[in-house]
Structure 1
Amino acid sequence: MNYRHFLVIFFLLFSSEIANAQLIDDKNVTENLADEINLSTPYHTTLSFFFNLEKSNFSPETAAKTMDFRGVEGDKKDLAVKLKQILEGKGVIIHTSEIPNDPNYLDSTAGSEPKYYFDKIKAPNIYLEKSGKQWKFSAFSVSRIERIHAETYPYGTAELLDILPQIGTDEYLGLQLWQLIGLGILIILTFLAHFLFTFLVDRGLIYIMRRLGYGYIGENYLLPIAKITSFYLIVVILSLLMRVLQLPAEIWAWVVILFSTLKPFFITVIFYKIVDIIAAYFSHLATKTESTLDDQLVPLVRKTLKALVILVGTLFILRDGLNFDIIPFLTGLSIGGVAIALAAQDTIKNFFGSIMIFIDKPFQVGDWVTSGDIDGTVEEVGFRSTRIRTFRNSVMYVPNGKIADSVVDNHGLRKYRRFFTTLTITYDTPPELIDEFVKGLREIVLAHPDTRKDLYHVYFNNLSAYSQDVMFYIFFELPTWAEELRARHEILIQTVKLANALGVRFAFPTQTLHMESFPEKKGLVPSYPGEAAYQEKLQKFLSQELGKKPDLLR
């Protein structure tokens, strides 16, 4: 800020003569302007107006003759002076060489009407209009002078236009005395404002946030925003006060561009920082939810909002700072957007697919999903694709549009994990032993801490070609596959121990040749002691392995 002001002052001191030469560049024309008013062309009307408001030829009564006062009441001389102040305050540069010198000039951009605009962006309501054979400032423009003047010099700064010149009008280094004193005062005010805002932000704001227990938030989030806001306020104050100095048009035009660019730039930076606060708040909310998909959504929302802020801020900088007409630009974007949309259908499809994933939440990070050839654990959900880690430890990048259109089997959302197997036992196993074996299996299920107790099926339910089959159908209440494998291991270990304790033999595909038994030689079929012995063996196994009391097993 400090170096900028010194550069502006240095530039002002050596450029005032350029402005004077620009306003009146036709010596032959201006020599006769004091005698009579020539309103035949926009060129002559403009010269007549500004010539009669120059310090050496100050005649507001004559300048007012270039204005159409039909339907307008008020002091004509005062309105003429205010009109000049409006053009200077808005930084409108009058290039006389560019003003048309044609009595029948038509503005092709305004419906081919006999009008001439000095600057359609900075002063769209100030224009010349042909009435009969004379070109004058239009009655509409004259009727709006009071209002535009109040907007150009708000908050009482218009009063300074009458007070400051009373200090002195002697010229030093191309500027009048009151302008030099005004620049000095503005420089001092800039330093004081910067010191005041810095004190309020660094001392006051941080102190209050620490007292409230939000010191971290104040230092890392609010402090950067407050500093940028202080710079923005300084620029706003300077842009209001420097208009009063009535600096040369060429210099002031560049200062206006600088201020008009800094204002939307600082606002863009402020909103850019605010996005970080919003993202931090949503991150805090995401930590309170069980879904891990929210943790992926917050960074994507932050990036999207920042991109949107930069885009909108750039448009405002182009429009307000650089006087760039963004309407044709936006129109071109809309037309080009159709072509881009047609060429990028898959990208747009994936984008909307990602939106549907975040809305419907068919899965979250860490879930095991299956969909066609897709089989693995979700690692990350992006705006275009989802990253899935397969069980081969490879990574699949699946377009979100494909996932949105596919049937997804989310194993991670299972509350219970099913375990189904068939226990095959030999045909020589007696029914009493099978019945005790099934009872023991049910007790194993009930005793395990991770099995579902209200739904399980353990039955002798089939006679196959080589075995008697026992259906073992249970559910585990576990969150991960690794824990499911552990529980399966424990259940199967108990099953094998039970079979060994009872003397149950598991069958496998074989062909057996049976021979008659002889008194002096035992057959191959084992002998079974009977139901009472089976019950005793089952009670012993359950009491030893599962810790159940014998009296509860009756």
Structure 2
Amino acid sequence: MGFRVKLFLLGWAIIISNSINAQVLPDVPNAGVNDTVSYSNLSSPYHTTLTFFHNLQEENFRPEVAAKALGGDLTDKRAVNQAVELKQIFDGKGVFVDIDNIPNEHDYVDSTHNYQAKYFFDTNRLPMIFLEKDGDNWVFSRFTVAKIDEMHKDTYPYGTDKLLNLLPKIGQQEYFGLHLWQLVGIFILILFVFLAHKLFTFIVDRGMYHLSVKIGYAHVAEKYLLPVARVVSIYFIVLLLDLFIRVLQLPIEMIAWIAILLNAAKPFIITIVFYKLVDLLSAYFERQADKTESNLDDQLVPLVRKTLKAFVVVVGSLFILKEGLQVDIWPFLTGLSIGGLAFALAAQDTIKNFFGSVMIFIDKPFQVGDWITSGDVDGTVEEVGFRSTRVRTFRNSLMYIPNGKIADATVDNHGLRQYRRFYSTITITYDTPPELINVFVDGLREIVKSHPKTRKDYYNVYFNNMSAFSLDIMFYVFFEVPTWGDELQARHEVLIKIVKLANELGVNFAFPTQTVHMETFPEKQGSSPVYEDNIDHYKKRLDAFVKSEMGKK
């Protein structure tokens, strides 16, 4: 009965043998005295691996011998099934096992795993598959054997594992080094990918675009969403290729390279998607920046866009190296951190300026177009960069100030003033009567009240000092204007009206003089003006001035 079972299993194994690829095996040079012609040897990790893969090659298909590498008390049929599935896991993952690099030591220990008697094939792609020493033999660990079914479903998901037995029934003839069923499978896969690409493109270009038009985002969809969606459709095609290419069981040398390319293509496409999404996010930031009055936001958006794109490229490159090309990036990151520390020490000023620019963008002490004063800096801000701020001085020269210096300095932002102060002392002669001084002061206040750009709730116009040569009137007002040019224009208008008011009332402005008093001659009158004694006379003249000058506004 046992012989019939073995014969049945051998016949079944021959039927499915063409679906199994062989790992490249050596001619067993220097294999040791334990090597046998039957390749049934479990004395070391090398011999166990050789026994397993050699007996699952097409030309020498003996799965019942390969199943010995699984160890344990498995029944013959169960062991054969799991041996075939384990081999398919290696092939589906594209893991190439170089037999020559496997240790040929009976008492081998793994120094990276606490010096245990274990051997791992590929800790990145197959972390659950490893050999361990069981008594005098090296076999696949009990943990590995217990996880074979789970790993096989993960390698061939969504029922694709059934195709492993269906496709070989198409035909076993060989053409160009491949079986007929493999060639047919490649043709079907190409046709399927082509149709899937057309379907995804139709859904993206037609469905998403028309949906965006209906909700009023046609421009955004055409410029930003459609390019991203098309790249995403390519990502789904890569997933389909990665899913079905394993079923074809191509030669391991070929499938290993294909697996590397497909694994690298996934993070690469995702990197492109996020790179394009940065443009969409930047467009949203630009729209929000346009709603604010600050011009600093408009300059911040391009800098944020460049920074995010650089970050996406760096992170995406690391994922491509780690997930796609299976490169251990930890030594690189360790070296990068040490090099980054050295770079940081050598570029302290640059880093200080960078963080200074960050503080400027966060605190917003000024914006483009503001007039600022900080130490020797006095001018209008033209541009704020990541390293320095560009200020146009009133000499029309250009100053570049490191942002680190500005962040630590006191900045007087004239551009953020709501009001611009104007303080002046109006000096009149000592012979001006008190009544006329009061009328003149009232006229000055009317000028402030009537001007459209002066602050009406706070100003001070008073006769407040008697200096050596004049009577001083404090003229303290504020202009509500945005720029220095508008302030100068407002001053000009107010001062012109003050001069007109003085001329209308006959008020003389004082200036530094020395008066020599001499005996008065009957035939010579003094130089001092003659003022009216009636105060109503001056009030009438003030009313006439107000009607004629203020009424124009």
Shorter-chain TM-score above 0.5: yes
Supply the distance in 2 between the matched residues of 1:354 and 1:502 (Cα, whole angstroms).
57
- Point out where structure 2 has 5 or more consecutive residues left out of the alignment: 1-17
What's the counterpart of residue 550 of structure 2?
A: 546
What's the counterpart of residue 531 of structure 2?
A: 528
Supply the distance in 1 between the matched residues of 2:552 and 2:232 (Cα, whole angstroms).
74
TM-superposed CA distance for 1:35, in Å, is: 4.2
SS across alignment from 1:23: coil
What's the counterpart of residue 223 of structure 1?
A: 226
Supply the distance in 1 between the matched residues of 2:517 and 2:433 (Cα, whole angstroms).
17
Contact 1:24/1:51 (8 A) holds in 2 = no
TM-superposed CA distance for 1:27, in Å, is: 8.6
Query: Which stretch of the first structure deviates more once superposed, 403-412 or 103-112?
Result: 103-112
TM-superposed CA distance for 1:33, in Å, is: 5.6
2:81 is equivalent to residue 78 of structure 1: yes
What's the counterpart of residue 4 of structure 2?
A: none
Supply the distance in 2 between the matched residues of 1:131 and 1:509 (Cα, whole angstroms).
114
For the aligned residue pairs, the C-alpha RMSD in angstroms reads 2.4
What's the counterpart of residue 12 of structure 2?
A: none
What's the counterpart of residue 346 of structure 1?
A: 349
SS across alignment from 1:210: helix
SS across alignment from 1:479: coil
What's the counterpart of residue 139 of structure 1?
A: 142
Contact 2:39/2:54 (8 A) holds in 1 = no
What's the counterpart of residue 338 of structure 2?
A: 335
Equivalent of residue 372 in structure 1, options 363, 372, 375: 375
What's the counterpart of residue 281 of structure 1?
A: 284
TM-superposed CA distance for 1:165, in Å, is: 1.4
List per-residue Cα deviations over 1:504-545 (Å, max 9, x = no partner): 111112222122322221012221123233222212211211
List per-residue Cα deviations over 1:22-63 (Å, max 9, x = no partner): 225339979976746211122211111112212233222211
Supply the distance in 2 between the matched residues of 1:117 and 1:348 (Cα, whole angstroms).
44
What's the counterpart of residue 160 of structure 2?
A: 157
What's the counterpart of residue 189 of structure 2?
A: 186
SS across alignment from 2:399: strand
Query: Which stretch of the first structure deviates more once superposed, 504-513 or 254-263?
Result: 504-513
TM-superposed CA distance for 1:100, in Å, is: 2.2
SS across alignment from 1:22: coil
Alignment of 1:380-419 (within 5 A): 380-419=383-422
Query: Which stretch of the first structure deviates more once superposed, 472-481 or 50-59?
Result: 50-59
SS across alignment from 1:519: coil
Contact 1:368/1:376 (8 A) holds in 2 = yes
Equivalent of residue 261 in structure 2, options 255, 258, 262: 258
Supply the distance in 2 between the matched residues of 1:288 and 1:20 (Cα, whole angstroms).
65
List per-residue Cα deviations over 1:483-520 (Å, max 9, x = no partner): 11111110000001111111111111222212232222
Query: Which stretch of the first structure deviates more once superposed, 526-535 or 184-193?
Result: 526-535
Query: What TM-score comes out, normalization by structure 1 length?
Result: 0.91
Amino acid across the alignment from 2:504: A
What's the counterpart of residue 305 of structure 1?
A: 308
What's the counterpart of residue 246 of structure 1?
A: 249
2:362 is equivalent to residue 362 of structure 1: no
SS across alignment from 1:291: coil
Query: Which stretch of the first structure deviates more once superposed, 348-357 or 211-220?
Result: 348-357
TM-superposed CA distance for 1:344, in Å, is: 2.0
Contact 2:118/2:132 (8 A) holds in 1 = yes
What's the counterpart of residue 439 of structure 2?
A: 436
Distance 1:333 1:27, change over 3 A: closer
Contact 2:228/2:273 (8 A) holds in 1 = yes
Contact 2:22/2:54 (8 A) holds in 1 = no
Identity between Structure 1 and Structure 2 (%) = 62
2:6 is equivalent to residue 23 of structure 1: no
Distance 1:525 1:237, change over 3 A: same
Alignment of 1:427-466 (within 5 A): 427-466=430-469
2:166 is equivalent to residue 167 of structure 1: no
Contact 1:43/1:101 (8 A) holds in 2 = yes
Alignment of 1:53-72 (within 5 A): 53-69=56-72
Supply the distance in 2 between the matched residues of 1:129 and 1:548 (Cα, whole angstroms).
103
SS across alignment from 2:421: strand
Alignment of 1:88-167 (within 5 A): 88-167=91-170
* Paired positions, count: 532
TM-superposed CA distance for 1:70, in Å, is: 7.1
Supply the distance in 1 between the matched residues of 2:102 and 2:194 (Cα, whole angstroms).
42
Supply the distance in 2 between the matched residues of 1:213 and 1:55 (Cα, whole angstroms).
61
Query: Which stretch of the first structure deviates more once superposed, 65-74 or 143-152?
Result: 65-74
Amino acid across the alignment from 1:189: F
Supply the distance in 2 between the matched residues of 1:239 and 1:277 (Cα, whole angstroms).
30
Supply the distance in 2 between the matched residues of 1:21 and 1:210 (Cα, whole angstroms).
54
SS across alignment from 1:383: coil
SS across alignment from 1:547: helix
Contact 2:23/2:53 (8 A) holds in 1 = no
What's the counterpart of residue 493 of structure 1?
A: 496
- Point out where structure 1 has 5 or more consecutive residues left out of the alignment: 1-15, 550-554
Supply the distance in 2 between the matched residues of 1:73 and 1:331 (Cα, whole angstroms).
49
TM-superposed CA distance for 1:92, in Å, is: 1.0
Supply the distance in 1 between the matched residues of 2:278 and 2:102 (Cα, whole angstroms).
47
Equivalent of residue 50 in structure 2, options 22, 25, 47: 47
